[in-house]
Amino acid sequence: MTKRVLRLLSGALFTTIALVGTVLVGPASAATAPSALARTVYYSASGYSAEADQAAQIWNSSAPNVRMVRGGSATIRIYPTTGGGSRAYPCGLGCATIYIDSRDVAAGNSALRIVTHEIGHGLGLPDNYNGICSYLMSGGSAGTSCRNPYPNAQEASRVNQLFAGGYSTSVPKTDVYARG
């Protein structure tokens, strides 16, 4: 092949990779690779920053149709607070204002579990007060000994379903999800 043909082929390859956006989080597998139509949800954290980054990685590896990225025009915003309980104010799919109560963490609850749980509300999941630790959305009902920050298969599948096709036309939610 000529140098010109090689340059054209490599340029086409790089363009294809850029358009598809094949960013992998964790080991390469179908479960962790975002779909070509993954919807990017931007987040910011003025508190619990390390936990927010870990929670984003957890959601990215659990639900390939959503890709959480720090920065941009953040639609999920995380703030620290003292009092009032940890809570999320969803404003639509992929949108929420989240408050993480330092008293919940001081009481022995896992900060990472709380942040991942509250982000789950921003990704369209409701609370499930069944007390089972393997359900991320059981929240505080699982007790302070529960350290699990991962959504189970049903929760991850629901988020993936909500974000299928890249964009949602769902009606914005106005529910408040407070730690109970």
Active-site annotation, residues? 118
**Backbone angles phi and psi of 3, in degrees to 5:** -60, -35
Helical residues (DSSP H) of the chain, grouped into ranges? 3-20, 49-62, 102-106, 111-122, 153-162
The answer to whether the CB of 145 falls within 8 A of the CB of 180 is no
Q: With contact defined as beta carbons under 8 Å apart, do 131 and 143 qualify?
A: yes
Of 74, 62, 15, the closest CA to residue 34 belongs to 62
Count of CA atoms in the C-beta half-sphere (13 A) of 66:
30
Per-residue burial over 124-133, b if 16 or more Cβ lie within 10 Å, else e, is bbebbeeeeb
